[in-house]
């Protein structure tokens, strides 16, 4: 009697993620806001815990390299409440909890009534720098801002306009964000 063994292959179904994370696998999709749907082509983990991803849009042929910072360990509800309370106290906001009814509110009350933490200042953003490279194979100019390819053009003048427009848009959004945050601070 001859028997055949069935080999069962376990094929992992690609997952779809809302943001780039260290948990993505090759073949998964990332639907990050304001970017096309990206598919993970390759993945590597650096010794410092960062994750390198090679991704490409599902509707295009170019690729991008992304580096994802390692995720923080999830905090307990008490620790989250403690941090929230400290932040509200430092900003001199009215407390949202007066007494503790759960772990989160207990942490919040303790954090709010404790010593306020100093406001952390964010490091200044790296200035945007653009460059243009020529692709001999496809005979077009590729426009780069910092380390990200943002477009392509047939002439160097058109490539420069693309870069300048992108940088002006980024500066506009940074200024707008600053105005909105300043409005909430008052």
Kindly report the average pLDDT of the chain as a whole number.
83
Answer yes or no: do 59 and 94 share one domain.
no
Q: Give mean pLDDT, residues 84-113.
A: 85
Q: What pLDDT does 98 receive?
A: 82
Q: Looking at residue 71, what is its pLDDT?
A: 75
Average pLDDT over residues 144-172: 91
Q: Tell me: the pLDDT tens digits for 21-59?
A: 888 999 999 998 888 899 999 998 887 788 899 999 988
Query: Quick one: pLDDT at residue 139?
Result: 92
From 113, 141, 169, the end of a domain falls on: 113
CATH number of the domain encompassing residue 23: 2.30.30
Assess whether 56 and 102 both reside in one domain. no
Regarding whether 143 and 105 lie in a shared domain, the answer is no
Residue 7 has pLDDT above 70, yes or no: no
Domain that holds residue 38: 16-68
Residue 155 belongs to some domain of the structure: yes
Inter-CA distances, 36 with 23, 77, 149, 173, 184, Å: 20, 34, 14, 20, 31
Q: Is residue 125 part of a domain?
A: no
Helices 77-90 and 103-113 cross at an angle (nearest 10°) of: 30
Q: Is 5 domain-assigned?
A: no
Q: Does some domain include residue 122?
A: no
Is residue 60 a part of any domain in this protein? yes
Q: Would 43 be classed as within a structural domain? A: yes
Residue 7 included in any domain: no
For the segment 104-130, the average pLDDT, to the nearest whole number, is 74
Asked if residue 118 is part of any domain, the answer here is no
* 141 shares a domain with 178: yes
The number of domains in the chain is 3
């Amino acid at each position: 009697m001859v028997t055949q063994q069935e080999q069962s292959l376990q094929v992992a179904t690609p997952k779809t993620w809302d943001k780039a994370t260290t948990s993505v696998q090759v073949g998964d999709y990332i639907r990050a806001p304001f970017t096309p749907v990206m598919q993970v082509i390759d993945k590597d983990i650096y010794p410092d815990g960062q994750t390198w991803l090679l991704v490409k849009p599902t509707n295009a042929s170019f690729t991008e390299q992304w580096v994802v910072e390692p995720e923080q360990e999830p905090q307990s509800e008490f620790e989250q409440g403690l941090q929230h309370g400290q932040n509200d106290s430092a900003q001199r906001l009215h407390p949202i909890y007066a007494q503790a009814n759960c772990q989160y509110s207990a942490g919040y009350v303790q954090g709010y009534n404790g010593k306020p933490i100093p406001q952390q200042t964010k490091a200044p953003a790296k200035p945007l720098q653009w460059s243009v490279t020529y692709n001999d194979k496809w005979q077009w100019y590729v426009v780069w801002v910092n380390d990200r390819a943002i477009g392509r053009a047939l002439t160097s003048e058109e490539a420069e306009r693309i870069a300048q427009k992108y940088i002006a848009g980024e500066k506009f959004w940074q200024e707008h964000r600053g105005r909105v945050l300043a409005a909430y601070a008052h």
